[in-house]
Structure 1
Amino acid sequence: MREPMTLDRFRALADAYGGVIARWPEDQRDAAMRIAANPEAVTILQEALAVDTMLDAWSVPAPASSLSDRIAGHRDMPRRNPAGRVRWWWSGIGIAAALAGAASGTAAVATVATVSSGDAPQENVTSFGAVDPQEG
């Protein structure tokens, strides 16, 4: 549902879209044009146009050429050592191998059947206790 056009709504639209009603949302323009004849609305539009004019005139000055020279000439980029990169690869491979060994060792311990002294291995028994295949 669209808000009815009041002076407060008119001011909010002028603050958001500027002093030219043609730049406002299309569905708000007709109602805004009807209110624009009101002396308070004229003042609101004049204030918005003054802000528009200031914003249109504003520009960012280009940086001094000495600034770009100082940035570019400050120092060369550091060169990377290929031997250091190889060391990182080997350390990554070592960590991956250690994690794989730990995971496979944990899995093996969890699934190996326990053997009492002199007894034959029992089925469905892990290092964590008996496993009943009937349980869901």
Structure 2
Amino acid sequence: MREPLTLARFQELANVYGGVIARWPEEHRDAAMAMAVQPAARDVLADASALDAELDTWRVSPAALSLRARVIADAPVPIRKIAARAKLWWSGVGIAAALAGATAGTAAVAFVAPIDAPTDSGTSFGDVAGPGS
């Protein structure tokens, strides 16, 4: 069961959400509308509405150009030197060359028979051609 809305809680809600009850959380709107008929609650809403109106007209002046220049001058500069990128690029070339060499070596060992390997013309079923062929 919910406790009834007190004037202190009504003022807290008005301070947080402003003088328009429609902007308040939905669970408090009905109780706030019922309380808004009281003179003290109307005064709270009037004060909150006056503050809302004042805040709506408030404008922030743009920052000075000197501040902008200082912020840009103090900002870290990214390293975009060609030498820094070239180091990374050359390391990639080295890795690619090493992998290509390893692949070529593996292929050479797999497909090329050693020079001193005996030649065998037989099959697993014996010499099919027969003796003397």
Q: TM-score, normalised by structure 1?
A: 0.49
4+ residue runs over 4 A deviation: 72-83
Which has more radius of gyration? 2
Deviation sequence 1:13-33 (CA, Å, 0-9, x none) = 101100000000111111110
Question: Per-residue deviation at 1:67?
Answer: 2.7
Paired letter, 1:51? L
**1:83-122 aligned within 5 A:** none
Q: CA, structure 1 residues 63+6, in 2 after alignment: closer, same or farther (shift >3 Å)? A: same
Q: CA, structure 1 residues 82+12, in 2 after alignment: closer, same or farther (shift >3 Å)? A: same
- Separation in 2 of the partners of 1:78 and 1:16? 43
- Give the fraction of aligned pairs with identical amino acids, expressed as a percent: 49
Q: CA, structure 1 residues 4+63, in 2 after alignment: closer, same or farther (shift >3 Å)? A: same
Match of 2:17 in 1: 17
Paired letter, 2:48? A
Match of 1:123 in 2: none
- Separation in 2 of the partners of 1:72 and 1:14? 39
Match of 1:32 in 2: 32
Which runs of 5 or more structure 1 residues have no equivalent in the other structure? 84-136
- Report the aligned-residue RMSD: 3.4
Paired letter, 1:13? L
Q: TM-score, normalised by structure 2?
A: 0.50
- Separation in 1 of the partners of 2:8 and 2:78? 59
Match of 1:7 in 2: 7
Aligned length: 89
